[in-house]
Structure 1
Amino acid sequence: MADVMVFSPSPQLTVTIEDDDQVHFHAGGQGVWQARMITSLDVDVVMVTALGGESGELLRPLIAREGIHLRAFITDAANGVYVHDRRGGSRDVIVESAGEPLGRHEQDELYGIALAEGLRARVCLLSGVTNPEIMPFDVYRRMAGDLKRNDCVVVADLAGDYLQAVVEGGLDVVKVSHEELEVDAGDVDALVERMRELHRRGAQNVIVSRAEQPGLVLLRERDGGVFEVDMPELEPVDPRGAGDSMTAGVAAVLAHGGDMATAVRTGAA
């Protein structure tokens, strides 16, 4: 039994060209980044995903070498790929493919695997997809609701229709950025109002990241109060994945029975 189940329907194959023309191959995408961070915190992870096409064949060993347990549904739909050139010091996109949609039968099969693994895990983390056609947002609503009704701890890091869907299903923790809420990072009053709205609709705890500014967190265990969360002051090399690391830290602490305040502090660190 894994401590955390990460639902990541369609990871991406990443190809990065670095200095001295070195070419690196990795598994990427939100779910992979989260699962990798959770594993680095000595928490056992199983990632439920669909793999297909040549990119899917390459992703299987790349994910496995991260120490992540993999439950993969094999599909005809190819996984996404992106090729980035970083030789100039910035990330220049050469090719980016979001991945192919899963058919209805494939969606149902993947759902069943995720539900079975989620019911055995201490925490279930629902991650997003780059292409909305891969997995409809209503699937996330059903999954959040089914897991929560069976006493699972459910965490989600989603935006847009997917965020609204899991909130409707009901869950323990929602993490979202100010950009995904379409609110200016400095407009604290507006952000707090959006957080309280998410709480009223079904999210017990809400975390909002604000880039380099302190995050905001609404904690159910503290009577729904909203607090600032200071982040370490660091020189960023690449901001991609910072919010995913925060979500991973929260999930890792909850999987070991920690309280939300401790989980938020670890996520921020």
Structure 2
Amino acid sequence: MTVEELDGRPDIHLHAGGQGIWQARMAAALGAEVTVCATFGGETGQALRHLIEPELRVQAIDVSARNGSYVHDRRDGSRTEVVRMAADPLTRHELDDLYEAILLAGLRAGVAVLGGPLDDGVVPDSLYERLTADLTSNGCKVVVDLSGSRLDAACEGGPTVIKVSDEEVPKDEPLGKAAARLADSGAEIVVISRAEHPSLAYFDGQAYLVESPGLVPVDTWGGGDSMTAALAYGLAADLPWDAALRLAGAAGAINVTRHGLGTGSGHAVRELSERVRLTPCVKEEDR
């Protein structure tokens, strides 16, 4: 739930949120056929499911664990968290049902995006390693957009694409070297997003800056997730990596100009992608 201001009055919005939803929304806008695999439980789960199903195809797993929720106040132009309720951990049988749903949906689609819940402890890290390994070994291309120990676990499974925030990189490690290190997991491409700064991409042994047109941001939340969605779409559409990266840079740029997270039209993203530049990194700090 987000509180905005409209003509001096509170304007309350209720949305389906979370990394997976934002990624799915942008991928669908680009033209991908997307299936969201997710668990739904409690009052928050009921509301969430009703919000998602008119918009996206959903593989729903009914659980006893409640979905998380939060209230953000944006009336001053920035996000202030008023209250947040963490999601409940899933039981062993609920985890089995979720794993099965993601595995089968990923194998059918040929491309799977693995994102993480907002809260720790909802699913074990080992789920990401097993899913990544089982999907890739059976011909599915896996895109991971994770952090911390979840990212480490997924890398053990050998993903196709790794997209991370620069906050996941040690402060004393050059981004290019960090990207090359992550690529050692077997990933074909690694993308490190840097908020308002150009993202860094690493593929075929070379690091590049992904320079998008400078646009005034309304909300930076969801920009990285929109990039992930475009990379997944590029995989599904068999685009060369340079074209997929331009699409990703444009998707992230469009997203931050909008109040809705993971939103933007496919037409706008494609047109803006023509203005995205890929520049080989030559500075030591970028290597």
TM-score (norm 2): 0.83
- Give the Å deviation of 1:79: 0.2
> For residues 182 and 237 of structure 1, do their structure 2 counterparts lie closer, same or farther at Cα, with a shift above 3 Å needed?
farther
CA RMSD of aligned residues (A): 1.3
2:184 to 200, 216, 220: 200
Quick one: distance in 2 between partners of 1:28 and 1:50? 13
Q: What residue number does 1:181 align with?
A: 169
Quick one: distance in 1 between partners of 2:121 and 2:167? 22
Q: Map of 1:218-237 to 2, 5 A cutoff?
A: 218-219=202-203, 223-237=204-218
Q: Map of 1:1-269 to 2, 5 A cutoff?
A: 15-19=1-5, 20-66=9-55, 68-183=56-171, 190-219=174-203, 223-269=204-250
**Structure 2 unmatched runs, 5+:** 251-287
Provide the secondary structure at the position in 2 that maps to 1:251.
helix
Q: Please list the CA deviations of residues 69-112 of structure 1 after superposition, one character each: whole Å capped at 9, or x if unmatched.
A: 00010001000010112223222211111211001111011101
Percent identical among aligned pairs is: 45
Deviating more after overlay: 52-61 vs 128-137 = 128-137
Quick one: distance in 1 between partners of 2:143 and 2:234? 12
**Would you say the 8 A contact 1:159–1:181 is kept in 2?**
no
Quick one: distance in 1 between partners of 2:72 and 2:34? 28
Quick one: distance in 2 between partners of 1:90 and 1:205? 33
- Give the Å deviation of 1:122: 2.5
- Give the Å deviation of 1:44: 1.1
Structure with more of its chain in strand, by fraction: 1
Quick one: distance in 2 between partners of 1:158 and 1:18? 29
Q: Please list the CA deviations of residues 114-172 of structure 1 after superposition, one character each: whole Å capped at 9, or x if unmatched.
A: 10111000310001111221111111000000000001111011111111111110011
Q: How many residues align?
A: 247
Letter in 1 for 2:46: E
Deviating more after overlay: 143-152 vs 205-214 = 205-214
Quick one: distance in 1 between partners of 2:183 and 2:4? 43
**Would you say the 8 A contact 2:110–2:139 is kept in 1?**
no
Quick one: distance in 2 between partners of 1:251 and 1:183? 28
**Would you say the 8 A contact 1:212–1:231 is kept in 2?**
no
Quick one: distance in 2 between partners of 1:117 and 1:195? 29
- Give the Å deviation of 1:251: 0.8
Letter in 2 for 1:41: L
Q: Please list the CA deviations of residues 12-32 of structure 1 after superposition, one character each: whole Å capped at 9, or x if unmatched.
A: xxx112212222111001111
- Give the Å deviation of 1:201: 2.6
- Give the Å deviation of 1:231: 1.7
Quick one: distance in 2 between partners of 1:57 and 1:182? 40
TM-score (norm 1): 0.88
